[in-house]
Structure 1
Amino acid sequence: MTRTRKLIRVSAFALGGAAYLGVAFAASAMERPPLLLVLAGMLPMAALAVAAGWASRARYAALSACAVALVLLLLNLQRLQDHVAFVYFIQHMGAMGALGLTFGSTLWAGPEQAFCSRIAAFVMPGRLDAQYLLYTWKVTLAWTIFFALSGAVSVILFCWGPVVWWSFFANVVSPVLVGAMFVVEYGVRLVALPSRPHLNLSETIQAYQAYRRG
């Protein structure tokens, strides 16, 4: 029963994510999308912002900032509708930049402190040896490069290409590439560290969530 519930939850998350990306693609590719489509695309990001504010140590300040942002949004719906592609561009670049910094800023402290090393050490039984830590450092580097390249391509397409090309890259190609990165890394890990325990994608996400809570 637990496995069935987990499968349902993962499926619902995947469908919800696909629906959001579809709305984002449609809204950002149109010259002037319907207001309802714009608001539907903004809703998940607003919910994430409120959730992050609620979990923040400075809860009241963060929630107040969310409230101010909501008021400004409601007062500028017309402008938002006219420049929705730019809003989605800022969201995409913000996500790529934040993730790139999260991973990249941990590279300089050595293999043991790399972001992927920390997550692996948090959930793996026993102490990780030097070979495993060197591998997770390389994985952290690979993700850092991926986010940097994705951000660079996003800027190039948005500034010098048709907006529909940028929207397709940001809302379709990028998520597919993220999934492909997970699959390829898992395959490489099986070859590079054949005798070690391995986390699948679902377990990796759960490990990251546990790491953040811990």
Structure 2
Amino acid sequence: MARLIGLVLLLAGLSYPFAVYFGQQHLSPRFFALLLGGLWLARLLSHAQRPGSRWMAAAALMFCVLLGLADNPELLRWYPVLISLFCLCLFGLSLRFGPPLVERIARLREPELPEVAVRYTRQVTKVWIGFFLCNGALASALTLWAPLSWWALYTGLISYGLMGLLFAGEWLVRQRVRGQA
């Protein structure tokens, strides 16, 4: 059940900018607040033991309460900024309190990582921190100063394309680093 809730929340996040763009004229911000709030509450109840789950869910629920109370369509555009902030915090806190998030992911495939790989995963974690910092800043700027169409295009398509490019670029660099080891 927890995986299903996580998948639904992921799909809701991916489709969110387009739902806001196309649904803002027909749906109240309270509808979005109820939908997102319900998903985050379900995540909180099903993922309570995972690191970061409680504080992320609590912050997302506070956002949903604010969105529901204010019923302001402008607040809808801040959700992708919140998600970038969550990712920034997860990667950043993993550097501080270790092991870095990228190292944890790498150890799923290769539990005994050599020291050079551990150093590499730390650097990759820093790159992701930079990405989420820039992504959040750009999403904030688009929220404040750009038309809704630009915001939807960036937060719903371009940012995911950039993430994909970063994944692919890191994979290529990793292959080169592994070849040298």
State the TM-score, normalized to the length of structure 2: 0.70
Q: Is the Cα contact below 8 Å between 1:114 and 1:137 reproduced in 2?
A: yes
2:84 is aligned, of 58, 71, 96, to 96
- 1:184 is aligned to 2:169: yes
Q: Is the Cα contact below 8 Å between 1:154 and 1:166 reproduced in 2?
A: yes
Whole-Å Cα distance in 2 between the matches of residues 24 and 42 of structure 1?
A: 16
Q: Among the aligned pairs, what percent are the same residue?
A: 23
Whole-Å Cα distance in 1 between the matches of residues 135 and 65 of structure 2?
A: 30
2:107 is aligned, of 93, 109, 121, to 121
Indicate the residue corresponding to 1:24 in structure 2: 17
Whole-Å Cα distance in 1 between the matches of residues 34 and 162 of structure 2?
A: 23
Indicate the residue corresponding to 2:35 in structure 1: 43
Matches of residues 135-214 of structure 1 in structure 2 within 5 Å?
A: 135-194=120-179
- Per-residue CA deviations over 1:10-58 (Å, capped at 9, x if unaligned) read xxx7xx94x874563252477x42128984796366324313323315x
Amino acid paired to 1:25: F
RMSD of the TM alignment (CA)?
3.8
For the structure 1 residues 94 and 25, does the alpha-carbon distance in structure 2 shift closer, same or farther, using more than 3 Å as the test? same
Bigger relative contact order, structure 1 or 2 (CA pairs below 8 A, ≥6 apart): 2
- 1:55 is aligned to 2:47: yes
Aligned residues: 165
For the structure 1 residues 93 and 145, does the alpha-carbon distance in structure 2 shift closer, same or farther, using more than 3 Å as the test? same
For the structure 1 residues 42 and 169, does the alpha-carbon distance in structure 2 shift closer, same or farther, using more than 3 Å as the test? farther
For the structure 1 residues 185 and 54, does the alpha-carbon distance in structure 2 shift closer, same or farther, using more than 3 Å as the test? same
The structure that has the greater radius of gyration is: 1
Q: Is the Cα contact below 8 Å between 1:29 and 1:85 reproduced in 2?
A: no
> Secondary structure at the residue paired with 1:35?
coil
Whole-Å Cα distance in 2 between the matches of residues 102 and 26 of structure 1?
A: 26
- Per-residue CA deviations over 1:125-182 (Å, capped at 9, x if unaligned) read 4x21111111111110111000000001111111122232122211121122222221
Whole-Å Cα distance in 1 between the matches of residues 93 and 18 of structure 2?
A: 31
2:76 is aligned, of 71, 80, 87, to 87
Whole-Å Cα distance in 1 between the matches of residues 104 and 133 of structure 2?
A: 21
State the TM-score, normalized to the length of structure 1: 0.60
Q: Is the Cα contact below 8 Å between 1:154 and 1:169 reproduced in 2?
A: yes
Whole-Å Cα distance in 2 between the matches of residues 160 and 36 of structure 1?
A: 22
